[in-house]
A and B are shown apart, each in its own frame.
Chain A
């Protein structure tokens, strides 16, 4: 399937391994990624905090660009924060024809216009809803047997449920990570912090509170005996992996908890090599903790 692909900013900045692994995984799932090179940052909620109309207009532009991609079935992102920030803007744009017309006025000079009702899905949702878990399971080459994975969703993709189309019965999107882990052969680790906040939004405003959150949730995962976490959000990844040494300092305990990007976990199961997936670039080396069974290649990150 062809998707209008919004990779976000951070995947091309501080988490290049995410961008790279997505590029490798997509063809294995028959996803054609048409990257929206012309689109700009979603604002991550910060631009909306500054000026709602600005965030709505910038994202409407992105939506319009996506809608212009020939043959694209939907728009896809690889970041919980992008998903949440865009969904918030889209909710406003879709709710009021008057407002939408007003925003489109600003876009008119570029010949762009957003039409209500864009389908915008995070890779996680796409896996479950478009590709389907059965299909995914069928393509698994290297089942992640005995790998104990803790899901970490990222706030922006699980709250508020109404805006994100989460329904306990029809679309239990806040359980998808667990479902994907199981489909890939792994064991889901339940722990207190799975749906909580990594702390990234306040890393500059209250560093201690920010890292305490990261540290606690990582610690909870350690206590629950997880081998690693997996997250669909690179901003969460920054606070959980990049900042882990400082998080350890803040909560006063060693953590040693590797954090994988979702495409990396999927990539491993689909048969890609850890180095291809950029896993050696993580600040917290996955190799020092993960105990792969014989069905999984050992020696990651060496």
Chain B
């Protein structure tokens, strides 16, 4: 608490400048500012703007991490400038200078200002981001379970800052990926009992090759998000609802892959890679590998398969016969499966909502 009153000290900021009217390439510019170490990088930039160069461009408004304007990359990590303390930014810097550049995956307009309409907002619009009412609309409020409104609070907490979009690794290689912000927003409706098109939304996003199954599961968005929305977790919930609740079998092999993985571990206790790939394409059963999509995939992968066999990385026996758990242990695993999957309702512990017990201060070592 004493942090709040520490005296000002010097901090050097290295800002990425870009003047579209000059015809010059972007360049780095350094400014040294004086602020208490607990103050934010945004305050530092604003001080530089006020004292040295008013032409520094950065979007900002509330200064309190609620409007979502000041999304930037600080020391290579996406986040809000107002939400990042100078002392922490200094500690994370490579050379004692705090580096600030515009967010990624979006075109730069000027300095730290990016064109969010071109990427972020376009993708938001892709998921039909408004409630499609269940009819009939009641006179007073819809009566909905208390938990459901708390559940979507996590998704509703999104302030559309773009930090997740900035560093999404799937989007980096596949610019058409619908993306973490839009998919988190999609969950806001899928999880809302008042929406009439939950199945349609899920089907749409599951069948889209750039939809929910295009997420490469890299956790970048969870780390980037300043509000705890955990977009990747929302994407996983969309997958769970699509496959588990609505039994949507998508053309992207998402459901088949999940079913194959889960099924193989139930049957053998350990993952049988040789079966996993063909079943993801052909369906989760013995004949899956013979189905046309699976055959095509195997043919496409021939260069890899042949090399692997030649090097004896994979042996035919090893591929055809899985290694299993001992019998009794496999029984235990199967029993766990039956117990948990046999429940009437899935149990999902969401730490965002329930918090941590009193004495859990840090993550497990």
Q: A residues within 8 Å of B by Cβ?
A: 9-10, 12-17, 37-41, 43-54, 56-58, 61, 84, 87, 90-92, 94-97, 99, 102, 106-107, 109-110, 117-121, 155-156, 159-165, 168-169, 196-197, 199, 201-206, 208-210, 212-213, 216, 238, 242-243, 245-246, 280-283
- Which of A47, A91, A163, A210 has a CB less than 8 Å from the CB of B262? A47
Given contacts A90-B364, A197-B169, A282 and B313 within 8 Å (CB-CB): yes
User: Using a CB-CB cutoff of 8 Å, which residues 264-320 of chain B contact chain A?
Assistant: 265, 269-274, 277, 280-281, 300-301, 303-304, 307-308, 311-314, 318
Interface presence of B213 (CB below 8 A)? yes
- Which of A45, A53, A91, A216 has a CB less than 8 Å from the CB of B348? A53
Chain A positions within 8 Å of B318 at CB level: 13, 16
Chain A positions within 8 Å of B73 at CB level: none
Instruction: Report whether A209 and B357 are in contact in the complex, using a CB–CB cutoff of 8 Å.
Output: no
In the complex the two chains form, what is the Cα distance from A203 to B243 in whole Å?
19
A41 smallest CB distance to B (angstroms) = 5
B8-16, B147-155, B336-344 - the one binding chain A: B336-344
Given contacts A12-B270, A205-B213, A209-B173, A283 and B332 within 8 Å (CB-CB): no
Chain B positions within 8 Å of A96 at CB level: 349, 354, 356-357
Instruction: Report whether A58 and B219 are in contact in the complex, using a CB–CB cutoff of 8 Å.
Output: no
Interface presence of B222 (CB below 8 A)? yes
- Which of B216, B300, B336 has a CB less than 8 Å from the CB of A57? B336
Chain A positions within 8 Å of B357 at CB level: 95-97
Interface presence of B329 (CB below 8 A)? yes
Chain B positions within 8 Å of A13 at CB level: 270-274, 318, 322-323
B57-65, B129-137, B253-261 - the one binding chain A: B253-261
In the complex the two chains form, what is the Cα distance from A156 to B222 in whole Å?
12
Interface presence of B110 (CB below 8 A)? no
- Which of B169, B210, B280, B347 has a CB less than 8 Å from the CB of A204? B280
**Pairs across A and B, CB under 8 Å, 30 listed:** A13-B322, A14-B308, A14-B314, A38-B329, A40-B333, A41-B265, A43-B265, A46-B257, A50-B240, A50-B243, A53-B343, A57-B336, A96-B357, A102-B347, A117-B364, A155-B218, A160-B222, A162-B363, A164-B363, A165-B362, A165-B364, A196-B169, A204-B253, A204-B256, A204-B281, A205-B252, A206-B252, A209-B174, A209-B177, A209-B216
In the complex the two chains form, what is the Cα distance from A46 to B240 in whole Å?
10
The 3 A-B pairs at the shortest CB distance, nearest first, are namely A159-B219, A9-B271, A204-B280
A282 smallest CB distance to B (angstroms) = 7
User: Using a CB-CB cutoff of 8 Å, which residues 181-237 of chain B contact chain A?
Assistant: 209-210, 213-220, 222-223, 236
In the complex the two chains form, what is the Cα distance from A102 to B341 in whole Å?
15
Q: B residues within 8 Å of A by Cβ?
A: 91-92, 169-170, 172-174, 177, 209-210, 213-220, 222-223, 236, 239-240, 243-244, 252-254, 256-258, 261-262, 265, 269-274, 277, 280-281, 300-301, 303-304, 307-308, 311-314, 318, 322-323, 325-326, 329, 332-333, 335-337, 339-341, 343, 346-349, 351, 354-357, 360, 362-365
Instruction: Report whether A201 and B216 are in contact in the complex, using a CB–CB cutoff of 8 Å.
Output: yes
B329 smallest CB distance to A (angstroms) = 4
Instruction: Report whether B347 and A202 are in contact in the complex, using a CB–CB cutoff of 8 Å.
Output: no
In the complex the two chains form, what is the Cα distance from A92 to B174 in whole Å?
32
In the complex the two chains form, what is the Cα distance from A91 to B218 in whole Å?
18
In the complex the two chains form, what is the Cα distance from A59 to B323 in whole Å?
19
Instruction: Report whether B311 and A280 are in contact in the complex, using a CB–CB cutoff of 8 Å.
Output: yes
Instruction: Report whether B340 and A53 are in contact in the complex, using a CB–CB cutoff of 8 Å.
Output: yes
- Which of B215, B274, B337, B362 has a CB less than 8 Å from the CB of A54? B337
